[in-house]
Structure 1
Amino acid sequence: MFKNIIKAIGGDPNKRDIRKYSEIVDQIGGMAAQCEAMSDDALRGRSDELRAQVREALQDVDEADRKKLTQAALDAVMPEAFALVREAASRTIGLRHFDVQLIGGIVLHAGRIAEMQTGEGKTLVATLPLYLNALTGRGVHLVTVNDYLVRRDARWMGPVFHLLGLSVGILQDAVRTENARKAFLFDPARESSQEDSRFMRMVDRREAYAADVVY
């Protein structure tokens, strides 16, 4: 899997690539004990602080410079942000990102393609760059192939983002009300007699689009 990811970003694996990503993974791992010791409230509080830090760094920047400055601001907090997501996933859905999945998240954040096979954890990997880029407050979207996977993945990964204080929107194309396509927000308190509708609260599409993370 690691070689597939490295090849996908433009060539055969080499020592420079491996060293670069391994150093970031080591930084993330070095924060594991600190994150594990935090209460849920402390984890959420630190997430809020990271979000404020990123937004302050991007305040009043010219649009011409925004992309470069955004990349720099997010790169600066990436190790801690990924460590928070890893801990949140472990607590809420019982999944902990493997080191190679952290590398996949780093590659995706860089705007490159990570080749992963079925069963290698693409859905979990995506939580890393989704959370990181959502810290800007400008919203981040994940596009998948059908409405079923949108509902499944948003409800599956929703608890991770919820613990860290981010909202999750769910857009549906095929399913309609009388006048419009349906949209939802992930809501862990929302129960339903239909398993496929649990944890989804219907909202208008504008509200779903305004969520921090949109599936």
Structure 2
Amino acid sequence: MQKPSYGWLLKWILAAILIAVGVTMFFAQSVVFMVTGMAIVIFSLFRVVPLLKTLNKEVLRTLNLVEILFDIILGGIMIWAGVDAYNTGQLDPVWGQVYKYTLVFVLVLRALVFLYSVVFLGEKTEQPKYWAHIIVLILGAMIVPIENFDHAWVAWLLLIISVLGGGYLIYDGAKGYGTYRRYSAELNQTKQVGKDKKIEKELPKTDQPVIEKDDQDRPFVS
């Protein structure tokens, strides 16, 4: 049997972290602002170099860099709002609307830049990527008419995702742990069989009694 890895332990640790983060964001919703802001900033910053290296038209590079600049500014505002709310212990209700329209702006702008690049600037793409941006555009448009949409909605969504993701990691880790335990049981069984064979090898192979050396040398008195 192939020696199993300890990946199950890492999956259980990640599941605990994921669920803990989801619960934290649900009860401390200022964290939602920080997480959303960091996600927007990271997504924007790590796209800069690959985009500049692969886009072959100056107008495409300029268009995407403008989008990235707006996203970084909005992401920074979200981070600042989250940190301020966390330190003061209160979040102004107006930030709920700011959060809503920031999310709409980021989603719709990403979809529009992509579609404009494909339709008018001749950028080649794959069908899954094209339809994914259509869904992003529809999602952004659907948020606008929802009057009470704010960071609390996203907190609920992240909690559900974190619990589902954590549950999957726990289940997958449990399967890995089962494989690990079967390997351990087989290893112990192999050691026990080897020990029994060694004992059999050391036993005498004759039915005759063995006369000890001391008995042979001892004088007999008649």
- TM-score w.r.t. the length of structure 1 is 0.31
| TM-score of the aligned structures, taking structure 2 as reference length | 0.30
Which structure is higher in strand share? Answer: 1
Which protein shows a greater Rg?
2
| Larger RCO: 1 or 2 (CA < 8 Å, sep 6+) | 2
